[in-house]
Amino acid sequence: MSISAIIAAAGTGTRLGLSTPKGFILLGGRNLFLYSLEVLISHNAVNDAVLVVPESCQPEAERIIAASGFNKKVLTVPGGHERWQSVLNGVQAAASEWVLVHDAARPFVTKEVIDKILERMNECDCVITVTPEVDTIRSVSGNLAGEVIDRSKLARVGTPQLFRRLKLLEALGSAGNLPSPPTDDAALMQRIGHPVSIAWGDPANFKITTQADLAIAEAIIAHY
């Protein structure tokens, strides 16, 4: 089955407090999006990749990709105002039967995580990566703590997420009618009636959102 990787790297990085778009910040001296792109494009099951970036950054992205010498095609496309619009642009540009959607802000994806997702692809048209919830979780009301929620029934959703391409296009087509922008593509699949399978991922594949996350990522890179 043909698979295209979609790397969402069009985020502004506002919560990082930086003027550089998040996918282009330096981690260990390299642009953030390169870490996940290299892992995804090197996987045997992945035919090609689509990198979604801010339109103003496309020339720079193409220069970086050309200098990296990938032996598979990597296409760059402009992102949208919302994440789902960026993913839609990437999926529309892909040509494979399946797409593996990943956030550039998660640089520590591994071949093993991808393999676990692919093991589930015969079960559903959508497979997501999840990790166990390890903290105590409570509901809250204002400044008061509510009941403790059973964490064994909860999981943290991450990426990569695998989709049958035409089904995801159908799901994304409904996103513009929602009262607020969706934060998860798989939720859109469920909304139009498609079941979602889960593959247990790696907690180390965390998302860089804050300066603290970036400091942790830098420490990991320095260690290895």
As given in the structure block, the two tokens for residue 203 are: 């907690």
Residue type, 74: V
Model-level pTM? Answer: 0.94
Phi, psi torsion values for 189, nearest 5 degrees? -65, -45
Render the burial of 38-69: b for 16+ CB within 10 Å, e for the rest.
Answer: ebbbebebbbbbbbbbbeebbeebeebbeeee
| DSSP track, 185-199 | HHHHHHHTT---EEE
As given in the structure block, the two tokens for residue 174 are: 């409904």
Tens of pLDDT along the chain (224 residues)?
A: 799 999 999 988 777 878 889 999 999 999 999 999 999 999 999 999 999 999 999 999 999 999 999 999 999 999 999 999 999 999 999 999 999 999 999 999 999 999 999 999 999 999 999 999 999 999 999 999 999 999 999 999 999 999 999 999 999 988 877 878 778 899 999 999 999 999 999 999 999 999 999 999 999 999 87
**Domains of the chain: residue spans and CATH:** 3-223 (3.90.550.10)
